[in-house]
Amino acid sequence: MNLEGRISIDLSYPSHDTGVVTLSSSRPVHASTLFEGKTIEETLQTLPLLFSICSTAQACAAVRACEQATKSQPPTGVEPIRQQLLSIEMIREHLWRILLGWSERVGTPPPESALAEVMRLQQELRQSLTAGDSPFRIVVSPFEPDMASFQQAVQQLKALLKQTVLGVDCSTWLQIESIDQLHQWISRQQGVATQLLHKIWQQQWHGLGRCLIPPLPTLEWDRLNQALSHSNYVEQPEWAGEPAETTPLTRTDSPLLHQLQLEYGNGLLVRLIARLTELAQLVESLDQPHSSTPSPVGFASGESGIGCCEAARGLLVHRVTLENEQIRQYQILAPTEWNFHPDGVVVRALQQLPAESPHLQQQASLIIHAIDPCVGYDLTINQRPPAH
Amino acid sequence: MCFGIPMQIKKIDQFIAHCEAKGFEREVNLFMLQYEELAVGDYIVSHLGQAIQKVTAEQAEAAWEIYDEMNQIDKEPPRA
């Protein structure tokens, strides 16, 4: 039973120093076609059950697409609640990656109690915002969040982040602006995050997997709508004729990230710091929900609607086409299809790994985890025997 | 896509649950759901070996109906 599909990655060095990477995916990218023939209400109810990993992002992109297609708008105050729920899900996903994945990379047991606390706080934050109701329906009543409970849970989340990941307050960590300051922080702290970063610093793997790939730009709606009119587009999407990257790195900005990118491009260290930066920024922004500028969330064209939102792994796009109030076509374009494209960022990053490296398996795994597929993967490496 | 598979808990051994769905069995780590009360017979959603959500029997059944339908669709080629 493998409904989720898997990603298969082969790295080999047949005749020269540059790696040859072959990537294939069995992800069921056309699964959303099962909503065709159903009503909007049925679809919005069942979709989060199916795509339950980033169910908030999926539900949000879905309702935004349906609102565009039906030319309807949510009541005032609902979009900020949706945005807050998206942030909470992204925070949870980033914390999972760090607490589970990063600790595994350095061979230490994951901090189980912290992971459980993350899950509990996520529930508490959601409950205080929505009281169990869903803002991901076409017609919703205005929400009256329990802000006292929400603020209390935010403070607990900040304390957890300080204690388990950063060692300092989020706001203090976000003041780190130079590579020297970052190194000082890594040297001083003894947490899950700094253990992995320390290892990368020691091994001088800062720029590991540095490669050229354009970030996914702000999409032009008409062009996207046109591209999605070809149903196979969601399998291996390209923009302006080439693959593009959509990850925390391509959407996060800070003085520190700017310095790191100048020095190490999109190498491994920069990717990990981008995740930490986005995590800290998201947690900080929970306190100031109205400070962020709302980004465009959808587009309508005839009977079709496109809805999008940022999910933990990158931009998520849904497109729905209606006919007689039923769904005629439903498509989902997920970030994994951009990033794990056969010539996408993962492939290009792995191609840069040195053929003679004694740590090839570890280096490749670090890069794949840093970019983060949302399914399991198999990595096969055919390394040339060392020259004598 | 980013599916989480709903499974029924058949046996709990500390933080490891032996789960079943459609005749397939998996061991699932429960430590992330410590805030939930979990017992044999309950349904959880698992992803990459971790239980990430408790769901009702009705939700699990609804999800499996969709998965069954999806299995059929995925065997057919997409429309051009």
Distance between A371 CA and the closest CA of chain B, angstroms: 15
Distance between A5 CA and the closest CA of chain B, angstroms: 7
Contact between A23 and A7 (Cβ < 8 Å): yes
Beta-ladder partners of B13? B16
Go through chain B and tell me how many residues it has.
Answer: 80
Residue among B35, B32, B4, B30 at smallest CA distance from B17: B30
Q: What pLDDT score does B80 carry?
A: 40
- A178-197: pLDDT as tens digits: 999 999 999 999 888 999 99
Residue B55 in any domain: the answer is: yes
Q: What is the pTM of this model?
A: 0.93
Q: Is the minimum CB–CB distance between A37 and chain B shorter than 8 Å?
A: no
Q: What is the DSSP letter of A217?
A: -
Burial of A355 (0-12, 13-18, 19+ CB in 10 A): middle
Dihedral, CA of residue A275, residue A296, residue A338 and residue A335, to nearest 10: 60
Q: What pLDDT score does B68 carry?
A: 83
Amino acid identity of residue A29, one-letter, is V
Whether residues B74 and A53 touch (CB distance < 8 A) is answered with: no
Whether residues B70 and A334 touch (CB distance < 8 A) is answered with: no
Residue among A365, A373, A337, A333 at smallest CA distance from A349: A365
Q: What pLDDT score does A91 carry?
A: 97
Taking CA atoms, what residue in B is nearest to A35?
B66
CA separation (Å) from A32 to A66, A219, A244, A368?
14, 22, 23, 26
Pick the CATH number of A7-133+144-382 from 3.30.379, 1.10.645, 3.40.50, 1.10.490: 1.10.645
Q: Which of B55, B70, B80 sits opposite A31 (nearest CB)?
A: B70
* Domain segments of chain A as ranges: 7-133+144-382
Q: Is the dihedral of CA A79, A84, A88, A90 positive or negative?
A: positive
Check pLDDT > 50 for residue B79.
no
Q: What pLDDT score does A139 carry?
A: 79
Distance between A271 CA and the closest CA of chain B, angstroms: 22
Residue among A44, A61, A27 at smallest CA distance from A224: A61
Domain that holds residue B62: 5-74
Q: Which of A46, A51, A100 sits opposite B2 (nearest CB)?
A: A51
Q: How many domains does chain B have?
A: 1
Distance between A202 CA and the closest CA of chain B, angstroms: 30
- B54-65: pLDDT as tens digits: 999 998 988 888
Residue B31 in any domain: the answer is: yes
Q: Is the minimum CB–CB distance between B5 and chain A shorter than 8 Å?
A: yes
Please calculate the CA angle A150-A138-A314 and round it to the nearest 5 degrees: 65
Question: For residue B60, what is the domain's CATH number?
Answer: 2.30.30.140
- B6-47: pLDDT as tens digits: 899 999 998 899 999 888 899 999 988 888 899 999 999 988
Q: What pLDDT score does B13 carry?
A: 92
User: Could you give the CA distance from residue A363 to residue A358 in angstroms, rounded to a whole number?
Assistant: 9
Residue B70 in any domain: the answer is: yes
Q: Is the minimum CB–CB distance between A22 and chain B shorter than 8 Å?
A: no
Q: What pLDDT score does A288 carry?
A: 78
Amino acid identity of residue A184, one-letter, is Q
Residue B80 in any domain: the answer is: no
Q: What pLDDT score does A18 carry?
A: 80
Residue B79 in any domain: the answer is: no
Low-confidence ranges of chain A (pLDDT < 50): 291, 293
Secondary structure of residue A36 in the 3-state scheme: coil
